[in-house]
Amino acid sequence: MPPEPTSRAVPPRTRFAPSPTGYLHIGGVRTALFSWLHARRHGGVFVLRIEDTDRERSTEASVNVILEGMRWLGLDWDEGPFFQTQRFDRYGEVLQRLLDAGHAYRCYCSRERLEALRAEQMARKEKPRYDGRCRTRTGPPPEGVAPVVRFRNPVDGTVVVEDLIRGRVAFQNRELDDLILARADGTPTYNFTVVVDDLDMAITHVIRGDDHLNNTPRQINIMRALGAEPPAYAHVPMILGPDGKRLSKRHGAVSVLQYRDEGYLPEAVLNYLVRLGWSHGDQEVFSREEMIELFDVREVNKAPSAVNPDKLLWLNQHYIKTLDPALVARHLAWHLERLGLDPTGGPALEEVVAAQRERAKTLVEMAANSAFLFREPEGFDEKAAAKHLGAAQRPILEVLRAKLADLEPWTREAAHAVVTGVAEDAGAKLGKVAQPLRVALTGGTVSPPIDVTIYLLGRARTLARLDRALAHAAGAGAAEPG
RNA sequence: GCUCCCAUCGUCUAGCGGUCCAGGACGUUGCCCUCUCACGGCAAAAACCGGGGUUCGAGUCCCCGUGGGAGCGCCA
């Protein structure tokens, strides 16, 4: 038996081994995160392996999504990506070893027989499994039948999985059947490639979804037949949709990249995921460094957890508000471009972030709220204009225009003084001045504080828009954009 | 059906036999702040699945039940 599995004597080697058959969803990302954290925490190595032996369903597009998603989140790998389809020679080699040692045998049973067998067993309310007919087969092989290769699983005894999360889980060998290692066409199957790879890549900690817990005793048996000791295992519970049901496309099993597209920050996604099934006292916010310092797989919960989109949103806003504006600005630029806007065609992005950070839960929202700084609004919001850009507001807007025309310096403070001064002179509350001005400048009723809005917009745009608003207020017909 | 896993507020969780009439966070509700939208502040409602044990004492340990989940492919 190996010593304490998380001993720091040997740097751990962990891996993330997705199969490129769909998109990389949030559950997979969390597994990757936990694996990555374990490696980083203990100064180990994180390996990326693409399990693409299912050539029917594996796609290059899916591989790209995995790589892009990992990069976006900053889950960097130290080795790989390794592709299983490029290791077929190696699997063949190991398979031969197993065959030679008598740990594997060729099975000539037809699919029809297997299906019938399964049906019978189900009818008898038994667990469907291979009956081992070819296990002891002697004599010449049947003609014209391409055999599969099966593992000769021990018939009795117990396999114990010492799981870092579940604790000790025991399986009876008699519950296991002789699984197929290689198909009739010679290609290796999942449970076999995983064993070979985890061994070859010297993986010390297999951190994966708990849908694999039942596969583990089989894999351990194969490893032992190969004369190897199994690594430590940590089976993390599945992630459920917001409705508490299994994640599916209908509710939240979206690609990680969709979170990027919807305006989430990688910091928020990572923070959200690390708190899903793991905690450190009452702490909710974890920087990347803190996660690495504090995360311990052994503390991961055993129960599955449901995703909570609202909390992700909250974290996203938290990071939008607290991260370095320069960093957020880079993300904002990306989203502005997606909107068809030129990020350089307006005020400095860092200042935009500083002004908008408290009123946007996502970067998509921030980009949309900030669009007025980068292009001329499409006219005025009808209701807003009706209320704030009437004849009654004209005098105030005219005064504002006059004062802003030669305001020096063009700062937030100076703009503030103008607006409050106009309000005082008119004996009106600030809102009576600020709101019409806001509609005039932005076309709508929502924007950063009015002085900040003026400052960011700049003199030229401010005056042009005031002129347009004045024209509108005068009933001079529809304003021409730009 | 069989095997394995799981079970604290709506959700994520703290709790590792007494300090728990169960704490934090998201969300919800109310109040405050306020030039819009927000941010923020304060407050409130909200949970130990059920039943047996063990123990002086159980959310915490054991058993059973119930309810979820996973696996049982020439898928991964």
Helical axes A349-356 vs A325-338, angle rounded to 10°: 100
Contact A30, A305 (CB under 8 A): no
Mean pLDDT of A277-301: 95
Chain B nucleotides near the protein (CB, 7 A): 1-8, 10-15, 23-27, 34-39, 68-76
Q: What is residue A451's three-state secondary structure?
A: helix
| Token pair for A104 | 């594997």
Question: How far does the CA of A291 sit from the C1' of B44, in Å?
Answer: 33
pLDDT of residue A9: 67
State whether the beta carbon of A440 lies below 7 angstroms from any atom of strand B.
no
Cα A29 from Cα A264, distance rounded (Å):
15
Residues 156-175 of A with CB under 7 A from strand B: 166-167, 169-172, 175
Cα A262 from Cα A443, distance rounded (Å):
25
CA–CA distances in Å: residue A252 to residues A53, A249, A307, A381, A405: 27, 6, 8, 34, 51
State whether the beta carbon of A211 lies below 7 angstroms from any atom of strand B.
yes
pLDDT of residue A7: 46
| Token pair for A220 | 């351990």
pLDDT of residue A390: 87
ipTM, interface predicted TM-score of the complex: 0.94
Q: What is residue A414's three-state secondary structure?
A: helix
Contact A212, A166 (CB under 8 A): no
Indicate the pTM of the whole model.
Answer: 0.92
Look at residue A220 and tell me whether its pLDDT is greater than 50: yes
Mean pLDDT of A100-128: 93
pLDDT of residue A250: 56
| Token pair for A190 | 């999942």
Question: How far does the CA of A248 sit from the C1' of B54, in Å?
Answer: 43
DSSP state for residue A172 in the 8-state scheme = E
Please give the single-letter amino acid code of residue A114.
L
Give the torsion through C-alpha atoms of A337, A340, A343, A344, to 10 deg. Answer: 130
Closest protein CA to C1' of nucleotide B12, residue: A276
Active-site residue set of A: 249
Question: How far does the CA of A108 sit from the C1' of B3, in Å?
Answer: 27
- The pLDDT mean for chain A works out to 91
Mean pLDDT of A110-122: 92
User: How confident is the model over A441-452, as pLDDT tens digits?
Assistant: 999 999 999 999
Cα A460 from Cα A454, distance rounded (Å):
10
Distance of CA A22 to the CA centre of its chain: 14
Residues 80-139 of A with CB under 7 A from strand B: 109-111, 114, 118, 122, 125-130
Cα A275 from Cα A88, distance rounded (Å):
38
State whether the beta carbon of A435 lies below 7 angstroms from any atom of strand B.
yes
Contact A75, A30 (CB under 8 A): no
Q: Determine phi and psi for A182, rounding to 5 degrees.
A: -140, 140
Q: Which nucleotide is nearest to A217 (CA to C1')?
A: B4
Mean pLDDT of A371-379: 92
Closest protein CA to C1' of nucleotide B27, residue: A310
Cα A88 from Cα A33, distance rounded (Å):
28
User: How confident is the model over A303-313, as pLDDT tens digits?
Assistant: 999 999 999 99
Look at residue A168 and tell me whether its pLDDT is greater than 80: yes
Q: Report the length, in residues, of chain A.
A: 482
pLDDT of residue A31: 95
- Compare A379 and A327 and report the one with higher pLDDT: A327
Look at residue A481 and tell me whether its pLDDT is greater than 60: no
Mean pLDDT of A162-180: 94
Question: How far does the CA of A303 sit from the C1' of B70, in Å?
Answer: 12
Count of CA atoms in the C-beta half-sphere (13 A) of A149: 21
Cα A351 from Cα A380, distance rounded (Å):
25
CA–CA distances in Å: residue A154 to residues A66, A163, A177, A198, A332: 37, 21, 9, 21, 58
Look at residue A480 and tell me whether its pLDDT is greater than 50: no
Question: How far does the CA of A17 sit from the C1' of B43, in Å?
Answer: 48
User: How confident is the model over A234-268, as pLDDT tens digits?
Assistant: 999 999 988 888 776 555 557 899 999 999 999 99
